């Protein structure tokens, strides 16, 4: 780092005058800033998090090399987190706490602390919270108002001394906002007994399976390997060098019910490694990203001096109750490598249940799947998993974690052991059952079960969710026990988890960057015949910052469905509000998965006011403009009659018909005796058998009254005859066009009364009639 300075042993092309002067004047400051940068922004983990995966291997070697050249620096001691660690759940109020200040030299004081919080799928380059303070030096209240319920966050603190020198931030510590997540240490990093195989033989793939017999393998405590004289971490178990691949196995038991949890690993690895849990790969480090790994596969680069890495957060879907096996294969960079380092810690963050009544299922978009008293109300299901009856009196439900309940259970509301209770989410108290007085939001919200205690009310259980598909619920899986999942609605019965499709079936389908009024918006479309999970997916108008918007937990889009997202740069306004606006001059919209891998993107040019643009038909590659026919949240349409069947595209889309199928004009969708084309002409609904052109007659002594519903924009003619078969139809009355739907009550004049027989019909004149 000092090449170019006079007298430096690595200066090979003569002294660099400017560098020489700079280093002599600012050597200490330069080292301190470089050391800080090297161990924060430029760490291999942060570089990978920023999407620069091709530089990770180089970064590992560079980090160790630069740290060695910097030597001892006089920055403050790195703080350590004292709480909010391991991904455990927290509710407001809570605080981040770190250890006390220790200066890097005498006579310096603690001047300030920088507190930062990032989302689990974000980075500290774009934190959700960043605050420097001279007052809250070792403890800072968590700003829950800036966080999204149900998400995991990581935080860190950086000290600055009275000379302006910064410490390294504490090792990232994680917590989950809400829920009942608890962290359990499964494998310790140091002094853990591992089975290993260093025979230099290719073991194929069977060695990584849970039931593989490793009884003949030797064992040793971590760290295992052979350290160089420069290595900061001493090896407890020394391994003989020679093989290019080493195998390690560790069995452990996991008692809590598994499913849907998260794993965190920290590791010391020289050179590369692949990690397997119960035979399934969960992580790679310093190995090629794609393709199979063989015994002869080499690490991507040589690690000079191994450093601890992590925590790395991984899915816990491979974790099971009972016996588990973590298997790791460590690969060397070259056949004559003379060093090796291995050690791993593993912990799991899993959801537990509170003691007592829990939220078990809810439905926020009931469009007809569940009927209650001839209505389609949203609902919440409570479950009592205990073996005792529980009185709900005094408990309540609310739609916000920072607000008190708005609905309280009445006295003598007893929930039996293993029993369920459905509460309807509306204000129709005259209907049977319990009614909350508030509705559920299909765009997403938080639902809280409050419980009385000595201090007033506490949160007993809570769930936060994002956009919900029509006629699906979310519920615990396994029923009454596990984490939340998309389900078929089963109020009062055991939950039934739904199958999900792939997020690769999603497209950015339509967008409006210059509306006549209101906010910009974009629309997602699901081409799959199954609902697709959206949680963790990222939307942005900048590929270099893909996480401007990250979809919240329990977000879904229905099969063959559309979802409108509001591009108002106000994500705090709700789950469907994006963290950016669209440029009317043109830009790119990108949709990526939780690992920042591209799912879909569109690049559009300058936009016309009031005109949307998108794919036509839905999900296709072709992109067209939609003048005067923007359809946010619905199928894309071009104005006109695409199939020339007499039914306008917009009308067909409105009632679920196919604008590209001419056959549906002659079909009777609702089986009311009228074709779809006749329903269009009549102004009635083709999907409702009760919506039909009809005429009612009522007689009273010598009078006759005709009654019918007149639709807006139509002329009606009333006719009469005394002989349906051969008689002439005579016009009785014309009812001219009027605005708005109305009921016509018409008393027939005497000359048109049915004496002795009479027949009447109602018609709507159309072109060429």
Query: What distance separates the 2 farthest-apart alpha carbons in the chain?
Result: 126
Same domain, 262 and 346: yes
pLDDT surpasses 50 at 769: no
- Region 608-612: mean pLDDT is 94
Domain finish residue from 113, 145, 179: 179
Same domain, 614 and 586: yes
State the total domains in the chain. 6
**200 vs 650: which has the higher pLDDT:** 200
Average pLDDT value over all residues in the chain: 90
The two three-digit tokens of residue 9, written as one number: 């042993």
* pLDDT score recorded for residue 740: 74
546 part of a folded domain: yes
The two three-digit tokens of residue 497, written as one number: 């988890």
Q: What is the rounded CA–CA span in Å between residue 434 and residue 405?
A: 15
pLDDT in tens, 284-312: 999 998 899 999 999 998 887 788 887 78
- Region 487-516: mean pLDDT is 97
pLDDT surpasses 90 at 465: yes
| Among the listed residues 94, 97, 132, 141, the one whose alpha carbon sits nearest the alpha carbon of residue 113 | 132
pLDDT in tens, 142-194: 999 999 888 889 999 999 999 898 898 998 899 999 888 888 899 999 999 99
**196 vs 67: which has the higher pLDDT:** 196
* pLDDT score recorded for residue 725: 84
pLDDT surpasses 70 at 678: yes
469 part of a folded domain: yes
65 part of a folded domain: yes
Q: Are strands 532-533 and 420-425 parallel, antiparallel or unpaired?
A: unpaired
SS3 category, 29:
helix
pLDDT in tens, 186-198: 999 999 999 999 9
615 part of a folded domain: yes
Of 440-449, 612-621, 725-734, give the range with the top mean pLDDT.
440-449
Same domain, 240 and 322: yes
**22 vs 486: which has the higher pLDDT:** 486
160 contacts 113 by C-beta, under 8 angstroms: yes
Q: Are strands 88-90 and 173-177 parallel, antiparallel or unpaired?
A: parallel
Of 39-48, 601-610, 733-742, give the range with the top mean pLDDT.
601-610
Tell if the pTM clears 0.75, that is, is over it. Answer: no
CB atoms within 10 A of CB 290: 5
Same domain, 513 and 589: yes
Same domain, 437 and 565: no
Which CATH number goes with the domain that contains 97? 2.60.40.10
For 527-634, list the strands marked E by DSSP.
532-533, 538-540, 549-550, 556-557, 562-567, 587-592, 598-604, 611-615, 623-627
Same domain, 260 and 320: yes
pLDDT surpasses 90 at 644: no
Q: Which residues of 52-69 are buried (b: 16+ CB within 10 A; e: fewer)?
A: eeeebbebbbebbebbee
Same domain, 196 and 243: yes
> Cis before residue 354, ω within 30 degrees of 0?
no
- Residues contacting residue 453 through CB under 8 Å, at least 6 positions apart: none
Q: How far is CA 286 from CA 51, 224, 588, 745, in A?
A: 15, 18, 32, 82
Beta bridge partners of 141: 95
pLDDT surpasses 50 at 6: yes
pLDDT surpasses 70 at 102: yes
* pLDDT score recorded for residue 257: 59
Beta bridge partners of 130: 116
- Assign 208 a pLDDT band (cuts: 50, 70, 90): very high
> Cis before residue 549, ω within 30 degrees of 0?
no
Domain finish residue from 160, 179, 198: 179
11 part of a folded domain: no
571 part of a folded domain: yes
Same domain, 733 and 622: no
Q: How far is CA 622 from CA 508, 513, 556, 586, 718, in A?
A: 12, 19, 26, 17, 49
115 part of a folded domain: yes
pLDDT surpasses 80 at 317: yes
Same domain, 614 and 547: yes
Q: What share of the chain is helix, strand, coil (3-state, %, to 5)?
A: 10, 35, 55
Least confident range from 104-118, 556-570, 749-763: namely 749-763
* pLDDT score recorded for residue 441: 96
- Region 705-715: mean pLDDT is 88
* pLDDT score recorded for residue 755: 63
Same domain, 43 and 104: no
pLDDT surpasses 50 at 56: yes
Percent of the chain with pLDDT over 90: 62
Alpha carbon distance, N-terminus to C-terminus of the chain: 91
Query: Which residue in the block uniquely carries the two structure tokens 């460590």?
Result: 330
658 part of a folded domain: no
Least confident range from 68-82, 492-506, 524-538, 600-614: namely 68-82
**179 vs 583: which has the higher pLDDT:** 583
Sign of CA dihedral 385, 389, 390, 392: positive
- Assign 49 a pLDDT band (cuts: 50, 70, 90): low
Least confident range from 210-219, 265-274, 668-677, 722-731: namely 722-731
Which CATH number goes with the domain that contains 565? 2.60.40.1260
Q: What is the rounded CA–CA span in Å between residue 557 and residue 553?
A: 13
- Region 477-495: mean pLDDT is 93
Domain with 727, as residue range(s), is: 696-763
Same domain, 373 and 469: yes
* pLDDT score recorded for residue 74: 82
pLDDT surpasses 50 at 258: no
Same domain, 624 and 541: yes
User: Which pairs with CB-CB distance under 8 Å and at least 24 residues apart come from 10-18?
Assistant: none
Domain finish residue from 639, 660, 678: 639
């Amino acid at each position: 780092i000092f090449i170019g300075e006079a007298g430096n042993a690595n200066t090979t092309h003569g002294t660099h005058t400017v560098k020489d002067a700079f280093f002599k004047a600012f050597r200490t400051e330069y080292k301190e800033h470089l050391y800080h940068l090297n161990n924060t922004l430029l760490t291999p983990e942060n570089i990978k998090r920023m999407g620069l995966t091709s530089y990770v291997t180089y970064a590992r070697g560079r980090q160790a090399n630069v740290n060695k050249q910097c030597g001892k620096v006089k920055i403050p001691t790195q703080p350590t987190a004292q709480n909010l660690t391991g991904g455990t759940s927290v509710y407001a109020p809570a605080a981040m706490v770190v250890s006390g200040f220790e200066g890097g030299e005498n006579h310096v004081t603690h001047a300030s602390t920088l507190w930062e919080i990032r989302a689990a799928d974000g980075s500290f380059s774009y934190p959700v919270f960043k605050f420097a303070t001279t007052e809250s030096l070792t403890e800072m209240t968590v700003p829950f108002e800036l966080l999204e319920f149900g998400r995991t966050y990581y935080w860190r603190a950086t000290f600055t001394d009275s000379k302006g020198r910064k410490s390294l931030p504490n090792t990232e510590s994680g917590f989950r906002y809400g829920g009942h997540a608890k962290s359990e240490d499964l494998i310790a990093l140091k002094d853990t007994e591992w089975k290993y195989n260093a025979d230099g033989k290719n073991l194929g793939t069977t060695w990584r399976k849970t039931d593989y017999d490793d009884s003949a393998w030797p064992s040793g405590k971590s760290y295992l390997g052979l350290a160089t004289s420069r290595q900061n971490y001493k090896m407890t178990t020394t391994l003989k060098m020679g093989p290019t691949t080493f195998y390690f196995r560790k069995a452990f038991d996991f008692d809590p019910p598994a499913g849907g949890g998260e794993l965190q690993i920290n590791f010391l690895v020289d050179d590369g490694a692949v990690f397997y849990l119960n035979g399934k790969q969960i992580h790679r480090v310093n190995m090629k990203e794609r393709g199979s790994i063989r015994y002869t596969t080499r690490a991507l680069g040589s690690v000079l001096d191994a450093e601890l890495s992590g925590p790395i957060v991984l899915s816990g879907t491979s974790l099971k109750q009972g016996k588990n096996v973590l298997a790791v294969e460590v690969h060397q960079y070259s056949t004559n490598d003379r060093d090796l380092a291995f050690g791993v810690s593993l912990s799991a963050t899993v959801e537990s249940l509170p003691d007592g009544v829990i939220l078990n299922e809810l439905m926020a978009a009931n469009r007809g799947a569940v009927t209650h008293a001839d209505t389609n109300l949203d609902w919440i299901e409570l479950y009592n998993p205990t073996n005792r009856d529980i009185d709900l009196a005094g408990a309540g439900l609310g739609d916000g974690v920072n607000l008190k309940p708005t609905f309280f259970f009445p006295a003598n509301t007893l929930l039996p052991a293993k029993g369920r209770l459905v509460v309807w989410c509306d204000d129709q108290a005259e209907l049977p059952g319990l009614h909350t007085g508030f509705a559920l939001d299909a765009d997403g919200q938080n639902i809280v079960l409050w419980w009385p205690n000595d201090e007033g009310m506490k949160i007993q259980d809570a769930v936060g969710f994002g956009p919900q598909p029509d006629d699906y619920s979310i519920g615990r899986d396994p029923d009454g026990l596990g984490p939340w999942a998309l389900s078929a609605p089963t109020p009062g019965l055991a939950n039934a988890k739904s199958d999900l499709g792939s997020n690769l079936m999603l497209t950015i389908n339509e967008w409006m960057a210059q509306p006549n009024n209101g906010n910009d918006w974009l629309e997602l479309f699901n081409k799959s015949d199954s609902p697709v999970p959206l949680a963790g997916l990222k939307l942005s108008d900048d590929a270099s910052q893909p996480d401007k918007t990250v979809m919240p937990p329990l977000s879904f889009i229905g099969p063959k469905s559309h979802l409108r997202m509001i591009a108002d740069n106000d994500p705090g306004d709700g789950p469907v509000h994006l963290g950016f606006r669209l440029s009317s001059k043109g830009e790119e919209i990108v949709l990526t998965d939780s690992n920042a891998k591209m799912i879909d993107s569109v690049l559009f040019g300058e936009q016309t006011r009031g005109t949307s643009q998108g794919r036509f038909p839905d999900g296709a590659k072709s992109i067209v403009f939609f003048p005067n026919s923007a359809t946010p949240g619905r199928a894309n349409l071009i104005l006109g009659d695409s199939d020339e069947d007499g039914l306008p595209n917009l009308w067909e889309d409105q009632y679920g018909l196919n604008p590209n199928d001419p056959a549906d004009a002659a079909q009777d969708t609702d089986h009311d005796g009228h074709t779809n084309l006749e329903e269009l002409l009549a102004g009635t609904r083709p999907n409702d058998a009760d919506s039909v052109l009809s005429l009612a007659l009522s007689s009273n002594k010598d009078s006759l009254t005709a009654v019918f519903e007149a639709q807006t924009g139509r002329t009606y003619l009333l006719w009469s005859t005394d002989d349906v078969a051969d008689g002439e139809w005579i016009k009785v009355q014309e009812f001219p066009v009027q605005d708005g739907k109305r009921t016509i009550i018409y008393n027939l004049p005497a000359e048109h009364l049915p004496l002795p027989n009479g027949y009447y019909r109602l018609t709507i004149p159309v072109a060429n009639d």
